A and B are shown apart, each in its own frame.
Chain A
Amino acid sequence: DTEVIQTPKHLVMGMTNKKSLKCEQHMGHRAMYWYKQKAKKPPELMFVYSYEKLSINESVPSRFSPECPNSSLLNLHLHALQPEDSALYLCASSHRDRGTEAFFGQGTRLTVV
């Protein structure tokens, strides 16, 4: 089973709203990732958690706040977003020992209005 589950599938939010994206995996993976993907572009890495600790932050604006409550869950808290933040947000996970063979969730399509 290589399933990464993301909720919600679609989200529309105003620029003053606070919302959260959720990601869950039960494959025992110890690395979890958030990526952002704009149309016709490759995924861009935002954050990496390794063993529930933030290991990489790719200079992401503070209006995006990641959280890893436990080894199976990853959240992305959103606040005061801009319309240009509209994108597909992808969660992924991998075994630490397999050189980042990463499996993606189905994504959350975010629209900021």
Chain B
Amino acid sequence: QKEVEQNSGPLSVPEGAIASLNCTYSDRGSQSFFWYRQYSGKSPELIMSIYSNGDKEDGRFTAQLNKASQYVSLLIRDSQPSDSATYLCAVNPSASNDYKLSFGAGTTVTVRA
């Protein structure tokens, strides 16, 4: 079982729609969860961090965490063509190993104008 799994893409959404990205993780002791956006040929950019159960909103982005279900998601509202990128879910697998981040394979999102 992979440590971090993301819903397979690519995901194509029309401009103005909501893009929904899902991520599950295997280590129940995981404490920190991150979403990175990576444009083609560029480096990952941190867009959301979430540490507690529930929702966290930042502009058009909402991260949702459910530790009991070992599930974290990212919603992108009012999707824009500039949101077209690969989104990487990253998880800190254990509180005793603060430095390791496990990445999912990524979900590529295309926003159609």
With A42-B88, A42-B106 given, is the CB distance from A100 to B43 under 8 Å?
Answer: no
Cβ of B107 to closest chain A Cβ, rounded Å: 11
Among all A-B residue pairs, the 4 with the closest Cβ atoms: A99-B32, A42-B103, A104-B43, A107-B43
Residues of chain B touching chain A, judged by Cβ–Cβ distance below 8 Å, are 31-32, 34, 36, 42-46, 49, 51, 88, 92, 98-101, 103-106
A99 near B104: Cβ-Cβ < 8 Å: no
* A101 & B34 in contact (Cβ 8 Å cutoff): yes
Residues 78-113 of A at the B interface (beta carbon under 8 Å) = 88, 90, 94, 96, 99-107
How many residues on the A side are at the interface (Cβ–Cβ under 8 A)? 24
Considering the complex, give the chain A residue whose CB is closest to the CB of B33.
A99
Q: By DSSP majority rule, is chain B's interface helix, strand, loop, or mixed?
A: loop
Report B49 CB to chain A, min CB distance, Å: 5
Chain B residues whose C-beta falls within 8 Å of the C-beta of A48 in the assembled complex: 99-100
B-chain residues with CB within 8 Å of residue A45 when the two chains form the complex: 100-101
What are 14 inter-chain pairs, A to B, with CB distance below 8 A?
A31-B99, A43-B103, A45-B101, A56-B99, A90-B43, A90-B44, A94-B99, A100-B34, A100-B99, A100-B101, A102-B34, A103-B46, A104-B45, A106-B42
